[in-house]
Amino acid sequence: MSPAANDAAHGLGDEAGTNLGGDVIGGGDVIGDPVADAVSDDEDTGDITVVHLVRHGEVHNPDGVLYGRRSGYHLSDLGRRMADRVAEHLADRDIRHVVASPLERAQETAQPVAKSHGLDLATDGRLIEAGNVFEGKTFGVGDGALRKPGNWRHLTNPFKPSWGEPYVDQVVRMMGALDAAKDAARGHEAVCVSHQLPIWIVRSFVERRRLWHDPRRRQCTLASLTSFTYRGDKIVSVGYSEPARDLVPAHLLAGAKPVKGKSKAFGA
């Protein structure tokens, strides 16, 4: 078992959120400056590398399907505006590597960033959405898959979870993707476009929180950035920003109350 898998399997993260590098991890649009925070800790650092995990923009999904890893789901017009906003936000950053999940919505979110920096867009399968047995079903409040008794057997273990890809497996593959991006942009910055659940799980692991959680509490809105700063090969701080917050529908913001007929699940 890899070190990441071993730590995750033994419950690394049962404590409250951990401050890794002087940042205040919590609410707000921006948490710290990853590079400045890391350098200020020690003037004689090795390479400082920042890897930004970006969640894709809004997807065109009028039927409210939990699309998961299915192909054919592209960004909506609003989602493309979100992608452009992310590119604008990162225009002056020292981006040297851009990589995305193979799913269309992630590729389309990454393209404006790669273009603005004159980079080729790479693909890493480890950044893909988490597997889910409810893929292809509707998953709203008061309707959809959870009302069918035949699906209840998938809800027996929220700690693994029983309805999808184990959290431990998500940690292992996402840490591998982060490390690969860090190596590709060492001493500079990289952008990895992925999906809400894998981003939140790897952040929870790094911040030493439990992996099982209330999905409504995830701090990972559409087109948000979760930024990991490395000193050498060690993560020393985590930052979070929402450059497209004003474009995100209210019911998809972190902490928003569920609305009947509208689900956060299919915006993953």
112-134, pLDDT tens digit by residue? 999 999 999 999 999 999 877 66
> Could you give the percent of the chain with pLDDT greater than 90?
53
* Higher-scoring residue by pLDDT: 213, 22: 213
d(CA 215, CA 237): 23
Residue 149 scores a pLDDT above 70: no
Predicted pLDDT at 4? 42
Which band of pLDDT confidence, cut at 50, 70 and 90, is reported for residue 219? confident
**Distances in Å between the alpha carbon of 20 and those of 123, 155, 196?**
29, 34, 22
Which band of pLDDT confidence, cut at 50, 70 and 90, is reported for residue 183? very high
* DSSP letter, residue 253: S
Looking at residue 178, its amino acid is L
The lowest-confidence range among 37-51, 124-138, 187-201 is: 37-51
Q: What is the pTM of this model?
A: 0.77
Could you tell me the two tokens for 242? 């929402």
Are the C-beta atoms of 173 and 197 separated by less than 8 Å? no
> Could you give the percent of the chain with pLDDT greater than 70?
66
Question: Which is it for strands 189-194 and 48-55: parallel, antiparallel or unpaired?
Answer: parallel
Residue 248 scores a pLDDT above 60: yes
Predicted pLDDT at 188? 98
What radius of gyration, in Å, describes the C-alpha atoms of the chain?
18
Per the prediction, the chain carries an average pLDDT of 79
For residue range 43-99, list pLDDT tens digits in order.
Answer: 445 799 999 999 999 999 887 887 888 889 999 999 999 999 999 999 999 999 999
d(CA 256, CA 268): 15
* Higher-scoring residue by pLDDT: 239, 25: 239
CB atoms within 10 A of CB 74: 15
d(CA 52, CA 243): 13
For residue range 91-114, list pLDDT tens digits in order.
Answer: 999 999 999 999 999 999 999 999
DSSP codes joined into one string, 215-248: GGG----TT-EEEEEEETTEEEEEEEE-TTGGGS
* Higher-scoring residue by pLDDT: 268, 102: 102
Orientation angle between helical segments 77-89 and 104-116, nearest 10 degrees: 40
Looking at residue 118, its amino acid is G
As a whole number, mean pLDDT of residues 225-251 equals 96
